[in-house]
Amino acid sequence: MNAIERNIRRYLEIERLLDAFFSSFHFCHAHCIAPELRRNGNRPVAACCKDKYYQVFDLPDAAFDRLRKEREQLYGEPADHKWANAVSPCEYHDPQNGCILKSHKSPVCLAFFCRRAIEQLRTDFGIYFYDYLGMYYALEWLLTGVLPERDYLDLKQNIVAAIAAMGKSFPAQMA
Ligand code: SF4
């Protein structure tokens, strides 16, 4: 396995852990999307996908290129997606169901949590390790191979501990 493959494998492993973490939290739908739907008569919402974030902050780097290539093999190229009544400029945003990418998101898409969500993590669960920019740079460095080994292991452990703090179990192979 070369360095790029190793970095992608680690990135996707952290993505799976973050997905388990986000799905334990239940914040976005309950506190953002559902109230907005109630306010606007159930019309679809873009939520935080207000740009083509899969490209705007990505770096000119071989690992980013590889991530994009694998994403497009799995989910199609952006131009392959046309939505009636689109609500987001991002082609991967299904107006009815949100982001169609179940994996291989760009670091900015994967890391983003709004201030309210981060505050709730702190006040309700005592989870302080998560801040949006810190996570974004950790994911970017993981992908480009400059995140120190110790920080990679800490990141993994912090996410596992955060899932446990929310009283949820996670698949054993992710630990
Ligand atoms: S790729 Fe997904 S998460 Fe990122 S902006 Fe588009 S719809 Fe949102």
Q: Please tell me the distance between residue 151's alpha carbon and the centre of ligand 1 in angstroms.
A: 26
pLDDT at 175 over 60: no
Atom of ligand 1 nearest to the CA of 51: 5
Q: Per residue in 5-41, pLDDT tens? A: 999 999 999 999 999 999 888 888 888 888 988 998 8
Distance 53 CA to ligand 1 centre (A): 6
- Ligand 1 center–CA 94 separation, angstroms: 9
Task: Give me 3's structure tokens.
Answer: 């360095």
Residue-range domain boundaries for the chain: 3-42+53-80+102-166
106-142 per-position pLDDT tens digit: 999 999 999 999 999 999 888 999 999 999 999 999 9
Our measurement of the distance from residue 120's CA atom to the centroid of its chain's CA atoms, rounded to an integer in Å, reads: 18
pLDDT given at position 90: 96
Q: Virtual CA dihedral for 136, 29, 94, 162, nearest 10 degrees?
A: 30
- The whole-number pLDDT of residue 168 equals 57
Backbone dihedral region of 148: left (phi > 0), alpha (psi from -120 to 50 degrees) or beta? beta
Write down the pTM of the prediction.
Answer: 0.91
Q: State pLDDT tens for residues 139-153.
A: 999 999 999 999 999
Which residue lies with its CA nearest to atom 8 of ligand 1? 49
| Nearest Cα residue to atom 4 of ligand 1 | 109
Ligand 1, from 45, 51, 57, 101: best to mutate by most atoms within 8 Å of Cβ?
101
